[in-house]
């Protein structure tokens, strides 16, 4: 995944700075927190976002671009939290989720191609009538 690299503890910011940096909204950030996709630290009764939340947000955004639902992303994040990051079981389960998503996209691509070919044929027929 094409995510930036930060050293742990390098950045700490409030939600306003976080949403500006990531070009998102406070509502989106709070919703991701409800889904346990982002887990900011609490300091002096205020949330502070760090490099970990930046990376997690970027991973969520990228997985959404791949067509994953937030429910699927929650599953991936919960597996990551339950197991060590390099755990073979985690890698296997993430592989299954990614493979399933790839199969789904390939099927959608096939269906779109079939519809495009049908449409092209209809356009050719109509053009012949002109």
User: Is residue 120 domain-resident?
Assistant: yes
From 29-33, 50-54, 71-75, 80-84, the region with the lowest mean pLDDT:
80-84
Handedness of CA 97, 102, 103, 105 (dihedral sign): positive
CA atoms within 13 A on the CB side of 37: 25
Q: Tell me the residue range of the domain where 16 lies.
A: 1-68
User: Is residue 99 domain-resident?
Assistant: yes
User: Is residue 78 domain-resident?
Assistant: no
User: Is residue 96 domain-resident?
Assistant: yes
**8 A C-beta contact, residue 70 and residue 36:** no
Check whether residue 3 and residue 46 sit in a common domain. yes
* Residue 31 scores a pLDDT above 90: yes
pLDDT (tens digit per residue) in 57-83: 999 999 898 888 898 888 888 877 776
pLDDT value of residue 84 = 59
CA atoms within 13 A on the CB side of 80: 15
The CATH number of the domain holding residue 44 is 1.10.1660.10
Count Cβ atoms within 10 A of the Cβ of residue 73 and give its class: 0-12 exposed, 13-18 middle, 19 or more buried.
Answer: buried
Cα separations in angstroms, 110 against 69, 100, 101, 107, 114: 21, 15, 14, 5, 6
pTM passes above 0.75: no
**Greater model confidence, 23 or 44:** 23
pLDDT (tens digit per residue) in 73-128: 888 888 777 765 566 776 777 788 888 888 988 999 999 999 999 999 999 988 88
């Amino acid at each position: 995944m094409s995510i930036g690299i930060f050293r742990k503890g390098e950045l700490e910011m409030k939600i306003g700075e976080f949403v500006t940096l990531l070009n998102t909204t406070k509502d989106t950030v709070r919703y991701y927190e409800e889904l346990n996709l982002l887990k900011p630290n609490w300091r002096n009764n205020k949330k502070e976002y760090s490099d970990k939340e930046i990376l997690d947000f970027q991973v969520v955004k990228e997985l959404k671009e791949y067509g994953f639902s937030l429910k699927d992303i929650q599953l991936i994040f919960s597996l990551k939290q339950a197991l060590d990051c390099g755990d073979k079981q985690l890698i296997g389960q993430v592989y299954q989720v990614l493979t399933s998503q790839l199969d789904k996209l390939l099927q959608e691509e096939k269906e779109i191609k079939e519809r495009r070919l049908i449409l092209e044929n209809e356009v050719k027929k109509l053009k012949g009538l002109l």
